[in-house]
Structure 1
Amino acid sequence: MKHSISDRLFSIIIAAVLALIAIVTFFPFYYVLVVSFTEPSEYLSKPFILFPRQWSFQSYEYLLTTKSFVRALSNSAFLATVGTACSLVVTAALAYPLSRRRMRGRRKIMMMILFTILFGPGMIPSYMLVRDIGLINSIWSLIIPALASGWNVILMRGFFDSIPTELEESAAMDGCNDLSIWFRIIIPLSLPSLAAFGLFYAVGYWNQFFSAILYLNQPEKWPIQVFLQNMLITATNSELNSDVYAQPPPSETLKMAAVIIATVPILAVYPFLQKHFAKGAMVGSVKG
């Protein structure tokens, strides 16, 4: 099929516009990466750098030898691992019985879960609840209130609906109880969906920011996102004291390096979950 000149011209214009948008979108990330690897002396001598003449890891080495930064990084790692594991257990344990018709009152429970999706409690009631249960200034204040997402529970319930009940019946005939069926049959069959939801939860916990500002008063318990925000709005990085380096690199190179370090861990998770993500992300969307 031949295309007219106007069609070709239109395709060229669309391709050029999309390429321009891609460049504009990618450039900030490129600039942050370049500045983070720039030699401090070169950065101080040039107002704008697109490609450094000499690459340096000094900013990264300085940050990773700073107790406050490493502590914030470990706090976020704790949230992303422990929080994700707890959320997956609670979500799967809640979604599975709701997918079985023999459970009494499951429709009422589903309506309550749906209500939490449509109507949020707001900042002040959430703070009062966390305060009354004694979680203020505790790292668990970022995990327990966010253990389960109503939307994820509904989606995982749809996935459990697609598992044939005959598998459970045959396992029950072999002497398995409900808990054994859940661990030995349901969970192994649910690995794609658990990988997808685990990625969603991990990203959410790693990016904890607003809740950490509300509930955590001590800087020692801040996750990396709050620490990075405080670092970016501060003109100097006096709170960063390395145990190895006496003279810190320029504050801008430290900030750029901190942004990269805060971004890379979550990006590194995607390749390992990619084979499960496409299948798991569609759980509950198609039935029949």
Structure 2
Amino acid sequence: MRISVLGAGWLGLPFAQLLIEKGHQVQVSKRSEEGVKQLQAQGLNAIQFDADNLLKDEHINLDNAQLSDFFNCDLLLITIPPGFRQGRGQQYPELIRAIVKQAKIDGTRNIIFTSSTAVYPDVDAQLTEDDATNWNEKAELLLAAENAIQQSDSNWLICRLAGLFGPQRNPARFVKHMRAINKNAIANMVHLNEVCSALLFLIEKQVSHQIVNISSKHVVSKLDFYTAALTHCDESINLPEIIDGTQTKTINVNKLKAMGYHFLYDSAIDAL
């Protein structure tokens, strides 16, 4: 299969490498020239492309032939984060609409979009794919981006990812920024390897016109998860104050299970 990965970052790059191992023809994109050179040095077919340029009148650093070749694929995987921390979240739905438009022009056949379980409200409940709401601004923007994907003429698949951790993203370091840990709160976390494995499964199963949660198989508390994470950390980090609050949302992955996916890890703790 001819697959283009838009955004060869922390998730996109290892997944592209997995696809290549499985025999797929893969192209990847990177915003910076230096990033492209690094990817090419690793043997990847990489192009320099800043998707933000689709919102402009001209495509900087990418001629039309190269653009068409990238988007004229069997599958386009969109792994571009919304950039909320960088203050770029407001333009995210418009950016995804522009990508979908370009995909339609150049004949993309299938689109997979990595979204987030941040679309689910923070309530004490098991939340399925049907429970997303515009409960805050972040969720509203993410759902608007998802809607753009659903309006595409391609076969689409939306994967809502739980909190990501793995190489260069040690969850123990998250503890530094916590004022307290609710001992009853659920750690809706998923390892990078699990996400890559699940995405590959969904591609091979040719799942389309679906929204699928990707999180860990069994839930664990935040207290247990971060306590375990600290034992795998090479820094001396202490747990913050532990409070006795209410249980928070749990991301339900029964849909993924029902499709026949076999999880790599029994829980997020096992993936540490």
TM-score between the two structures when normalised by the length of structure 1: 0.23
More strand by share: 2
TM-score between the two structures when normalised by the length of structure 2: 0.24
More helix by share: 1
